[in-house]
Amino acid sequence: MKFTEDHEWLRVEGDLVIVGITEHASEQLGDVVFVDLPAAGRSVNTGDEVVVIESVKAASDILAPLEGEIVAVNDALADTPALVNEDPLGAGWFFKMKVADLSALDGFMDEAAYKALIG
Q: Grade residue 101 by pLDDT with cuts at 50, 70 and 90.
A: confident
Per domain, the residue ranges of the chain are 2-100
Mean pLDDT of all residues in 55-77: 95
**90 has a pLDDT exceeding 90:** yes
Q: Grade residue 100 by pLDDT with cuts at 50, 70 and 90.
A: confident
Global pTM exceeds 0.75 = yes
CA–CA gap between residue 56 and residue 116 (Å, rounded): 28
Nearest alpha carbon to residue 26 among 46, 56, 49, 66: 56
Q: Grade residue 85 by pLDDT with cuts at 50, 70 and 90.
A: very high
CATH 3.30.70.20 corresponds to the domain 2-100? no
Res 63: pLDDT: 95
